[in-house]
């Protein structure tokens, strides 16, 4: 099991969190996504995930890794 922590910007509400989770859910191997309104993101995965995969999953949204 792999664990990753990131900080995201521009989260304003629960809908923002839902949208980010939907985008990140497209990344193969992610098994759990924890995200709070302050932008603290923790991902669990069953394989190594490069940061570029996370950036790519969020590329069409306004939410970015800080």
Q: What pLDDT digit, counting tens, does each position of 9-52 carry?
A: 999 999 999 999 999 999 999 999 999 999 999 999 999 999 99
Question: Residue ranges of the domains in the chain?
Answer: 2-57
pTM of the entire structure?
A: 0.92
What DSSP state is assigned to residue 16?
A: H
Provide the CATH topology of domain 2-57.
Alpha-Beta Plaits (3.30.70)
Report whether 6 contacts 65 (CB < 8 A).
yes
The C-alpha torsion from 54 through 63 and 11 to 14, rounded to 10°, is -70
Rg (CA), the chain: 11
């Amino acid at each position: 099991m792999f664990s990753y922590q990131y900080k995201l910007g521009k989260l304003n509400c629960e809908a923002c969190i839902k949208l980010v989770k939907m985008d990140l859910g497209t990344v193969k191997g992610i098994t759990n996504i924890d995200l709070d309104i302050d932008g603290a993101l923790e991902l669990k995965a069953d394989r190594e995930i490069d940061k570029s995969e996370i950036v790519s999953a969020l590329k069409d949204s306004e939410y970015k890794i800080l």
